[in-house]
Structure 1
């Protein structure tokens, strides 16, 4: 467990979002261009896995890159578009560029070989299965000799 960020406005307790950011090791969050935003992320834990959902509408699965390196998972996306229009003999060319990057330190209990990702309806879903020894075991009765 790591220390939580403490903002003066929080008075007595750190915010829940800062707790999760610290727990998951958010190392880098950036919008490259003014006006870009970092997608919201939901993280849920079950007995079998950690589930991450990234809200990123308007992208295609080809726009994402998920990289695992030394216990760090980085989700990133880059998208650029070029539009050209001609109105009343005025030519206008517009460029659009957006990118984001989110990094998470993975718990040692994650079975890295079985991680999978699916992008559907504007949400990137990543399943991080747990190793067998990390799953909750049923209670065991010890026989006394």
Structure 2
């Protein structure tokens, strides 16, 4: 008996269940480097500016938010951590929230060098 070629049976469709289990939604942020600074834009609709906390600790940027809707009995939270590969001038980090988008600008220290070891890529 041959398996159908045109329309998969429900048994065959179920074979990808493990891969679907680990699917994630599309990325809610954009991160890029331009003009000696990192620019992070995070989509955070439904939050008020006062509900958002942005903090910097030893090369890691923490973005967290919590919104409680008492009328509907809902609680919405957001938390994400970002690690940066270069030294950041933490005194010059700026954050702004407009129209549901949090934008954080993280200037790179120009006189600092990134230390590390180059890893050989085998082929």
Both proteins in one fold, TM over 0.5: yes
Point out where structure 1 has 5 or more consecutive residues left out of the alignment.
1-8, 10-36, 84-93, 136-145
Alpha-carbon distance between aligned partners in 1 of 2:59 and 2:31, rounded to the nearest angstrom: 17
**How many residues in Structure 1 have an aligned counterpart in Structure 2?**
90
| Deviation at residue 51 of structure 1 after TM alignment | 0.1
| Alignment match, 1:108 | 86
Does the CA contact (< 8 Å) of 1:82 and 1:95 recur in 2? yes
TM-score (norm 1): 0.55
Could you list the runs of 4 or more consecutive aligned residues of structure 1 that deviate by over 4 angstroms after TM superposition? Answer: none
* Conservation of the 8 A alpha-carbon contact between 1:38 and 1:101: no
Tell me the TM-score normalized by structure 2.
0.65
8 Å contact 1:117–1:127 — kept in the other structure?
yes
Matched residue, 1:47: 35
1:95 matched to 2:95? The reply is no
Q: What is the aligned partner in structure 2 of residue 131 from structure 1? A: 109
Match of 2:44 in 1: 56
Aligned-residue offset at 1:38: 9.2
> Structure 1 pair 38/124, CA: closer, same or farther in 2 (3 Å)?
farther
**Is the 2:60–2:83 Cα contact (8 Å) retained in structure 1?**
yes
CA contact (8 A) 1:78 1:97 kept: yes
Aligned-residue Cα RMSD (Å) equals: 2.4
- Select the structure with the greater relative contact order (CA < 8 A; seq sep ≥ 6): 1
Equivalent pair of 1:52/1:126 in contact (CA under 8 Å):
yes
